[in-house]
Amino acid sequence: MFNHNSLKQAIADNRRIKGVHFTYPALAAMEILAAGGIDYIYIDGEHGAFTISDIEAACIAAERHGVTPIARVPDGTAPVITQFLDRGVRGIVVPHVETVEQARIAVEATYYAPLGQRSFGGGRPYAHIGNRDLPSLLAMANEGVSLSVMIETGKGLENIAAIAAVPGVDYLSYGMMDLCQSLGHPGEPRHPRVTAAVEKASAAARAAGKPVREDFIAFAWINDLVVEGARQLLP
């Protein structure tokens, strides 16, 4: 059974990986890009156009090619996180995290005990492999899952060191468009005040022992790849 998590392994190995972020289901494109050597696919479950069946199909396609499927969930509540994990998602990205309590709720939903209190049901793939050693099965599931929290407000920046220190949070990322709006510069993610705040927050997260996404991930959005590819091939 596929249980590899390229993000978690990259953090442990201190190396860089790459992935493509999708806002709509495109299984053929996922398979083509997997053949091109990406490490993960990102399913945007907050702003994207995915049904729950689309998410499961994307996870199956990713697993087939040894690529880790991760997803940004609509919110950090346990029912939502459980639904994504039960479809086969191996990395949860929780948006709009501002407090330690929100981070802890996400951890509780993402991991089985003793790390958390994830609910076990009939989801794939763990429930269908004929393994009767359930303690080992749950431990294996925990090893193959990663958790990231997104900082998207000034309040989140203020609390980032404490959020980063929560056990079970693997790395942090920023929702730059929402963050720049929160800091009073809507539509200006590269405003000097915004970039300075992010740099300061990133240093605080690293000091707490957690990387930020840009420390170890190179990524592109699928639409940008399509447009840039057309420009290169159809000058």
Question: Catalytic residues, which ones?
Answer: 47
Q: What angle do CA 93, 96, 99 make, to 5 degrees?
A: 105
Nearest to 89 by CA among 52, 130, 135, 115: 52
3 state DSSP class of 231: helix
Sheet containing strand 217-221, strands side by side = 171-174, 146-151, 91-94, 68-72, 40-44, 17-22, 217-221
CA dihedral 208, 213, 218, 223 (to 10 degrees): -170
For residue 148, report the phi and psi dihedrals to the nearest 5 degrees.
Answer: -125, 150
The whole-angstrom separation of Cα 40 and Cα 129 is 23
The whole-angstrom separation of Cα 81 and Cα 91 is 10
